[in-house]
Amino acid sequence: MASRVEQFPEWIQVDGKWKRKSDHFRRNISMENFSVDSVLDALHLNLDALQDIQGRMHSDMVKGLGAASNKAAVVKMFPTYVRSLPDGSENGDFFALDLGGSNFRVLLVKLRDGNVEMKSKVYKIATEIMTGTGENLFNYIADCLAEFKKEQGLEGKDLPLGFTFSFPCRQNGLNSASLVTWTKGFSATGVVDQDVAKLLSEACKRRNVNLDIIAVVNDTTGTLMSCAHADSNCYVGLIIGTGTNACYMEALDEVELWNGDKGEPKQTIINMEWGAFGDDGSIEDIRTDFDRELDKITLNQGKQLYEKMISGMYLGEISRQAILKLAKEKLLFNGVVSAELQKPWAFESKFLTDIEKDVSTDGLVCREILRQLNCRDTMEDVTVVRAICSAVSTRAAKLVTAGLAAVIKKMGRKTLTIGVDGSLYKYHPRFHPLMDTFTRELVPEARVKYMLSEDGSGKGAALIAAVAVRLTGK
């Protein structure tokens, strides 16, 4: 296997060109190679490891789909009750709400014979709202909806609404979903185990806002729907943003848990909630001390361990942990860590994207970021920090692809489009090319196309509402 493993070296940019990390470090860094390498090596995953992860994800998917095994499964594989993809004939005006990170959006979506026109407004969700009471959170959402309706001259209007709520939910039907647990820094009280559609309806009643919720949707499902609207070969939705998750169209026969209608179409979209992969200890062998340190400062300790190795909320902090380790060994900043960099979360995930976008020889962007953080920025420091960012994001791209490889193999399709949304995937310069490369390695038998979803969660929620309206003739 050694030669194949070599196809997955860690790459860094030197003089604007990509070089193998190991070659560069052995030759150019005049410090204890072993220590810099050992930190980077801990973040390295070879092809064997990825194939292994893929196998474990596959077993967890089967476990999650099984009626008897689901209870103990960490990858929950929630059936969504979304069973038909759009066929282009959806028409009408819809509202969509999109809650899943630090921003909340309200949208007005107009579907006209395959064309989509959208108006939307973004509202910031303050940390106090994310971590306060559920009642305040839903009141805030209702207030934003009311304000948006007013601005659009649609006050009092009762359009069908799709609610994208991007947290792990057990669906009780298309328009009812109970929150299983919060993720991504949310902890609003009184919401876990409650039907979020009901909480929203109650808040709208309190605020005198009309509401007609047709569907509660995960962002992955919204993304799949919006990409399937443009490409009928799209059967998987993927998010790599603040959090990560995937969904795909599964045959009903495979879904032992299914308690809905067993008629045509004999399929349903499964919201995998793969971020929880590893929460039962199954990926401890690939987690590093940096991952463990990061976990300690999160609200949901010991949870969403796969997500915490992949998504935008966490990559900056993992990098900071690796940087601190090297500084402690006096291999960075001459051993001095600035007060700024000592602060948890001080190294933002956005820095990784910015640093890796910069192909200049002297890493001007990295240098500027280190300056902002009041850190020493010698050429060597800059090179090492760039290598850390590269190792952290490469590992994330590999892990996502290993998870997707399990999905692709499970579906058994030879050609397939995967709809993708999320800031990390969109803005990080190497995520997409790395995923392409690793996909070809892990599933050479399939032709997989990644399709960037433009506004998947909002548009998708409206499309789901539209398909439901079309099918029920409501």
Residue 290 or 306: the one with the smaller Cβ distance to ligand BGC is: 306
Catalytic site includes residue 166: yes
- Which parts of 152-254 fold into alpha helices (H)? 196-206, 219-230
Residues 312-351 that bind ligand BGC (CB under 6 A): none
Residue 307 lies near ligand BGC (rule: CB under 6 A): yes
Catalytic site includes residue 453: no
Burial class (CB in 10 A: 0-12, 13-18, 19+), 1: exposed
Residue 421 lies near ligand BGC (rule: CB under 6 A): no
Residue 218 or 319: the one with the smaller Cβ distance to ligand BGC is: 218
Task: Choose the stretch contacting ligand BGC; rule: CB under 6 A; options: 155-163, 228-236, 240-248, 393-401.
Answer: 240-248
Residue 353 lies near ligand BGC (rule: CB under 6 A): no
The interface mask with ligand BGC, positions 374-393, x = CB under 6 A, is --------------------
Residue 79 lies near ligand BGC (rule: CB under 6 A): no
Name residues whose C-beta falls within 8 Å of residue 142's C-beta, 6 or more positions apart in sequence. 200, 203, 204, 206, 207, 209
Q: Are 29 and 386 in contact (CB under 8 A)?
A: no
Q: Binding ligand BGC by CB under 6 A: which of 84, 164, 183, 267? A: 183
Task: Choose the stretch contacting ligand BGC; rule: CB under 6 A; options: 43-51, 160-168, 201-209, 329-337.
Answer: 160-168
Cβ at position 311, least distance to ligand BGC in Å: 7
Q: What is the 3-state secondary structure (H, E, C) of 387-449?
A: HHHHHHHHHHHHHHHHHHHHHHHHHCCCEEEEEEECHHHHHCCCHHHHHHHHHHHHCCCCEEE
Residue 337 or 407: the one with the smaller Cβ distance to ligand BGC is: 407
Q: Binding ligand BGC by CB under 6 A: which of 98, 195, 219, 291? A: 219
Residue 101 or 363: the one with the smaller Cβ distance to ligand BGC is: 101
Distance CA 422, CA 196 (A): 23
Residue 167 lies near ligand BGC (rule: CB under 6 A): yes
Cβ at position 242, least distance to ligand BGC in Å: 6
> Of 56, 83, 105, 430, which one is the catalytic site residue?
105
Tell me if residue 244 falls in helix, strand or coil: strand
In degrees rounded to 5, what are phi and psi of residue 293? -65, -45
Calculate the alpha carbon distances from 12 to 24, 251, 330, 377, 401 in Å: 8, 42, 22, 18, 20
Catalytic site includes residue 421: no
Residue 86 or 456: the one with the smaller Cβ distance to ligand BGC is: 456
Residue 220 lies near ligand BGC (rule: CB under 6 A): yes
Cβ at position 130, least distance to ligand BGC in Å: 13
Task: Choose the stretch contacting ligand BGC; rule: CB under 6 A; options: 48-56, 204-212, 242-250, 280-288.
Answer: 242-250
In degrees rounded to 5, what are phi and psi of residue 262? -95, 5
Cβ at position 221, least distance to ligand BGC in Å: 9
Say how many residues touch ligand BGC, by CB under 6 A. 17
Residues 261-300 that bind ligand BGC (CB under 6 A): 273, 275
Tell me if residue 333 falls in helix, strand or coil: helix
Residues in the chain: 474
Nearest alpha carbon to residue 367 among 350, 353, 387, 385: 385
Instruction: Work out whether strand 176-179 and strand 212-217 pair parallel, antiparallel, or are unpaired.
Output: unpaired
C-alpha torsion sign, points 238, 272, 464, 88:
positive
Residue 166 lies near ligand BGC (rule: CB under 6 A): yes
C-alpha torsion sign, points 111, 114, 115, 117:
positive
Cβ at position 167, least distance to ligand BGC in Å: 5
Q: Binding ligand BGC by CB under 6 A: which of 83, 184, 409, 428? A: 184
Output b/e per residue, 179-198; b: 16+ Cβ within 10 A: bbbbbbbbebeebeeebbbe
Distance CA 199, CA 227 (A): 29
Nearest alpha carbon to residue 237 among 443, 121, 91, 86: 86
> Of 219, 354, 377, 455, which one is the catalytic site residue?
219
Q: Binding ligand BGC by CB under 6 A: which of 243, 312, 403, 419? A: 243
**What angle is formed at CA 19 by the lines to CA 385 and CA 345, rounded to 5 degrees?**
20
Residue 13 or 164: the one with the smaller Cβ distance to ligand BGC is: 164
Tell me if residue 113 falls in helix, strand or coil: coil
Q: Binding ligand BGC by CB under 6 A: which of 201, 218, 394, 417? A: 218
Q: Are 382 and 366 in contact (CB under 8 A)?
A: yes
> Of 60, 83, 166, 367, which one is the catalytic site residue?
166
Residue 241 lies near ligand BGC (rule: CB under 6 A): yes
Residue 98 lies near ligand BGC (rule: CB under 6 A): no
Binding site for ligand BGC (CB under 6 A): 100, 166-168, 183-184, 218-220, 239, 241, 243-245, 273, 275, 307
The set of catalytic residues is: 105, 166, 219
